[in-house]
């Protein structure tokens, strides 16, 4: 099975390291590309394949909410507003437990909302479950159009 691509949208280097480590520790060995702000995430998602030889459409977006340049909510709205990406699985992976953030995420079209656990072993289990479900079990919309 070819490796899938995870777009991790995370501005905190420590959280990026922990997420990558949790993926590896959990046996999720797919490719990971990191966007460090919302604008960079949108640029990556909507890059035309011919303009960047490394470009691949992500199979999963792990999206933080509190980002520089463009919030996670704005990134999610942009993803959901385009026919090419409206079915792209987007999981909010954030430290926020604010009810308003959870509600707005789902209202905007998030597929899932996961609060980052403080305990590393819990974080590994959460990220592993995300990876298994969204990259192995879930049948994405775009798999029926290719």
Q: For 29-112, where are the alpha helices, taking DSSP H only?
A: 38-45, 72-80, 99-108
In this prediction, the residues of the chain whose per-residue pLDDT falls under 50 are 143-146
CB-side exposure of 67: number of CA atoms within 13 Å? Answer: 29
* Domain-located, residue 63: yes
* Domain-located, residue 58: yes
pLDDT score of 54: 64
d(CA 32, CA 11) in angstroms, rounded, equals 15
Q: Residue 63's closest CA among 113, 117, 127?
A: 113
Determine the structural domain holding residue 82 and report its residue range.
5-137
* Domain-located, residue 144: no
* Domain-located, residue 42: yes
* Domain-located, residue 27: yes
d(CA 131, CA 65) in angstroms, rounded, equals 19
pLDDT score of 144: 37
* Domain-located, residue 80: yes
Give the CATH number, domain containing residue 48: 3.40.50.2300
* Domain-located, residue 143: no
Structure tokens at 114: 């996961």
* Domain-located, residue 111: yes
d(CA 145, CA 37) in angstroms, rounded, equals 30
Q: What is the pTM of this model?
A: 0.87
pLDDT score of 146: 41
What's the number of domains the chain is made of? Answer: 1
């Amino acid at each position: 099975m070819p490796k899938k691509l995870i777009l991790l949208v995370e501005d905190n280097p420590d959280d990026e390291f922990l997420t990558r480590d949790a993926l590896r520790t959990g046996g999720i060995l797919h490719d990971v590309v990191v966007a460090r702000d919302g604008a960079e995430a949108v640029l990556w998602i909507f890059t035309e394949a011919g303009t960047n030889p490394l470009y691949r459409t992500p199979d999963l977006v792990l999206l933080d909410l509190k980002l520089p340049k463009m919030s996670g909510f704005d990134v999610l709205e942009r993803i959901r507003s385009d026919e090419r990406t409206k079915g792209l699985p987007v999981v909010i992976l954030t430290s926020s437990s604010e009810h308003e953030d959870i509600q707005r995420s789902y209202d905007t079209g998030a597929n899932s909302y996961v609060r980052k656990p403080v305990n590393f072993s819990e974080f590994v289990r959460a990220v592993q479950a995300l990876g298994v479900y969204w990259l192995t079990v879930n049948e994405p919309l775009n798999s029926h159009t290719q």
